Structure 1
Amino acid sequence: MRCRRRNHPRRGKRVNSNDGIPRKTAGRRHVLILGAATLVLAACGRDPAGPPSRAALPEVAVQAVASTVINVVNELPGRTTAYRVAEVRPQVNGVVKQRLFEEGSEVEEGEQLYQIDDAIYQAAHRKAAANLRTAELQAGRYAELAKVNAVSRQAHDDAQAAHQQARAEAELARINLTYSKVLSPISGRIGRSAVSEGALVTNGQATAMATVQQLEPIYVDMTQSSVELMGLRKAMETGQIRQDGKRGAPVRLRLEDGSIYEHEGTLQFSEVEVSPGTGSVTLRAQFPNPDRKLLPGMFVHAQVDSGRRDGVYLVPNQALMLGNGRSTVYVVDAENRIEARRVFNERMVDGQWMVTDGLREGDRIVVEGRQKVRPGAEVRIAGREQDAAGDPAVELATANPAAAR
Structure 2
Amino acid sequence: MNGYTGVSTLFIVAILAGCTAKSETKEESKSQAFPVIQLSHQNTTLDRDYAGNLEAVQNVEIRARIAGYLDKIMVDEGQSVRKGQLLFQLNAAEYQAEVAKAQASLESAIAQSKSVEVESERVKLLVDKNIISASESKLAKAKMESAKAAINEAKAALDNARLRVSMASIRAPFDGVINRIPFKRGSLIDEGTLLTTVSDLREMYAYFNVSEKEYLTSIKKRLDPNKTTMREVELLLADDTHYGHKGMVETTETIFEGNSGTIAFRARFPNPNHLLRHGATGKIRLTTDVDDALLVPQKAVFEVQDKNFVYVVDNRNRVKTRSFIPRSRVDQFYIVQSGLREGDRIIYEGIQNVKDGMTIVPKPLPSDSLKALYASAL
Which stretch has the larger CA shift, 214-223 or 318-327? 318-327
2:54 aligned with 1:74, yes or no? no
The match for 1:317 is 298
Determine the C-alpha separation between the residues in 2 that align with 1:396 and 1:326.
Answer: 23
Q: What secondary structure is seen at the aligned counterpart in 2 of 1:318?
A: helix
Q: 1:316 to 1:101 in 2, by over 3 A?
A: same
Contact 2:236/2:282 (CA < 8 Å) preserved in 1? yes
Indicate whether 1:304 and 2:280 are aligned. Answer: no
Give the TM-score normalised by the residue count of structure 2.
0.80
Query: Bigger shift: 150-159 or 164-173?
Result: 150-159
CA distance in 2, matches of 1:319, 1:286: 40
**Aligned CA distance change for structure 1 residues 362 and 198 (closer, same or farther; 3 Å):** same
Are 2:200 and 1:227 equivalent residues in the alignment? no
**Correspondence list, 1:189-338, <5 A:** 189-205=177-193, 208-237=194-223, 248-305=230-287, 307-322=288-303, 327-338=308-319
Q: Give the AA of the match of 1:86.
A: V
Query: Partners of 1:264 and 1:278 in 2: how far apart?
Result: 28
Post-superposition Cα deviations, 1:31-68, rounded to whole Å, max 9, x if no partner, equal 8578458659979xx9xxx9984433365432222211
Q: Are 1:106 and 2:86 counterparts?
A: no
CA-CA distance at 1:273 after TM superposition? 4.3
- What's the CA shift string for 1:201-228, capped at 9, x where partnerless? 11123xx111211111012223332321
Q: How many residues are treated as equivalent by the alignment?
A: 360
1:118 corresponds, among 89, 92, 114, to 92
Match of 1:180 among 139, 145, 168: 168
TM-score by length of 1: 0.75
1:156 matched residue in structure 2: 144
Q: 1:62 aligns with which of 28, 36, 48?
A: 36
1:113-145 deviation line (CA, Å, top 9, x unaligned):
111111111121122123223324544665673
Distance 1:272 1:251, change over 3 A: same
Distance 1:393 1:238 in 2: 29
351 and 295 in structure 1: CA distance in 2 versus 1, 3 angstrom threshold: same
Say if 1:316 and 1:351, in contact at 8 Å, map to a contact too: yes
Corresponding residue number in structure 1 for 2:127: none
Larger Rg: 1
Where does structure 1 differ by over 6 angstroms across 4 or more consecutive aligned residues? 40-43, 323-326, 391-396
The residue type equivalent to 1:343 in the other structure is F
Partner residue of 1:89 out of 35, 59, 63? 63
Q: Secondary structure at the match of 1:92?
A: coil
2:130 aligned partner = none
CA RMSD of aligned residues (A): 3.7
Counterpart check, 1:168 vs 2:148: no
The SS at the match of 1:293 is: coil
Identity of aligned residues (%): 25
**Counterpart-to-counterpart distance in 1, 2:52 and 2:340:** 35
Distance 2:230 2:13 in 1: 83
Alpha carbons of structure 1 residues 118 and 56: separation in structure 2 relative to 1, 3 Å: closer
Give the 3 Å change call, closer, same or farther, for CA 55–238 of structure 1 in structure 2: farther
Match of 2:338 in 1: 357
